[in-house]
Amino acid sequence: MSAPRTVLLTGAAGTLGTLLRSGLPRYGHELRLFDVRPVEGEPDAITADLSDRAALRDAVRGVDAVLHLAGISLEAPFESVVRANIEGTYNVYEAAREEGVSRVVFASSNHAVGFTPAPRGTDPLIPADTPHRPDTFYGLSKAFGEDLAQLYWDKHGLETVSVRIGACRPEPADVRMLSVWLSPADCLRLFHAALTAEDVGHTVVHGSSANTRAWWDLSSARALGYEPRDDSEPYAKKLVAEQGEPDPDNPAHTHLGGTFLTDPPIWPY
């Protein structure tokens, strides 16, 4: 599939939505924006909730792909997670199926597999087909989204790339992020690859930069054409000096999901 492609970007007002809506047009993608909140500087953005199936169906009509970011991005009460992330993601897939959209790119998370122990020493990197081990209701909703994607591929031929994002921010903020950091520039490269690779079926990929201290295997992402260029290592000396090396007796230091295992950040609204 070659760019430009028309893409519905859900969650366009959020952190990654803001990055992707400014960066993806440079890769040739034409974006239609969707969020429950107004998108600053974008008067044509669709302001609607994921529970509004009519609005979603109108929004996906005629697009080549949906890049689905919208939802609760931290831990929250079970009922809230069900409504936004489980029912909301189902509504996105139903709208895409009904309107004949051929590709979804789903923003999954490392928290779908957060209870997976991080590799130590010579342990192999964690492959993308590692079993789901969610660390929160939030992570559980991402595991659901990946399984929903598999169902819609097997049953309806609707393709998905599920991107298990590590932590995307300008710089890694703690020693764990040295292993799971996704730089903003690599984030754009990865989502462009996920939108344009041929014949993906349902592919699960780990989303991080080429970190020296990587915990997970990027081979399924590289198979889409993703070529990460950044590495968190230049930030390591300062972060380790401030915070120390990871404590092998602290589960938040020794598992993929970090503090989400023990003290998850809570969705603010």
Residues near ligand NAI (CB under 6 A) are: 11, 13-17, 35-37, 49-50, 69-73, 84, 88, 107, 109, 165, 167-168
Residue 6 contact among ligand NAI, ligand 15L, none, beta carbon within 5 to 8 Å by kind: none
Q: Provide CB contacts within 8 A for 137, sequence distance 6+.
A: 75, 76, 77, 78, 81
> Of residues 140-199, which lie at the interface with ligand 15L (CB under 6 A)?
167
**Placement of tokens 């300008």 in the chain:** 170
Smallest separation (angstroms) from ligand NAI to the CB of 241: 24
Q: Provide CB contacts within 8 A for 34, sequence distance 6+.
A: 8, 9, 10, 11, 12, 45, 46, 48, 56, 59, 70
C-alpha 69, offset from chain centre = 7
Nearer to ligand NAI, 126 or 168 (CB): 168
Q: Is 27 a catalytic residue?
A: no
Nearer to ligand 15L, 5 or 253 (CB): 253
Candidate list 93, 138, 152, 235, residue with the active-site label = 138
Smallest separation (angstroms) from ligand 15L to the CB of 241: 21
Residue 231 contact among ligand NAI, ligand 15L, none, beta carbon within 5 to 8 Å by kind: none
Residue 147 contact among ligand 15L, ligand NAI, none, beta carbon within 5 to 8 Å by kind: none
- Give the CA angle between residues 240, 246, 252 to the nearest 5°: 130
Residue 197 contact among ligand 15L, ligand NAI, none, beta carbon within 5 to 8 Å by kind: none
Smallest separation (angstroms) from ligand NAI to the CB of 59: 11
Nearer to ligand NAI, 180 or 224 (CB): 180
Smallest separation (angstroms) from ligand 15L to the CB of 109: 4
Residue 53 contact among ligand 15L, ligand NAI, none, beta carbon within 5 to 8 Å by kind: none
Q: Provide CB contacts within 8 A for 142, sequence distance 6+.
A: 85, 108, 109, 111, 112, 134, 164
Nearer to ligand NAI, 199 or 220 (CB): 220
CB of 111 within 8 A of CB of 257?
Answer: yes
Query: 92 pairs with which residues across the strands?
Result: none
Question: Does 10 help bind ligand 15L (rule: CB under 6 A)?
Answer: no
Name the E strands within the chain.
6-10, 30-35, 46-47, 65-68, 103-109, 159-165, 167-168, 181-182, 202-207
- Measured CA to CA in angstroms, residue 123 lies from 27, 163, 257, 261 at distances of 37, 23, 18, 22
- Would you please indicate which residues are annotated as catalytic (active-site) residues? 138
**Chain positions contacting ligand 15L, by CB under 6 A:** 73-74, 109-111, 167, 258
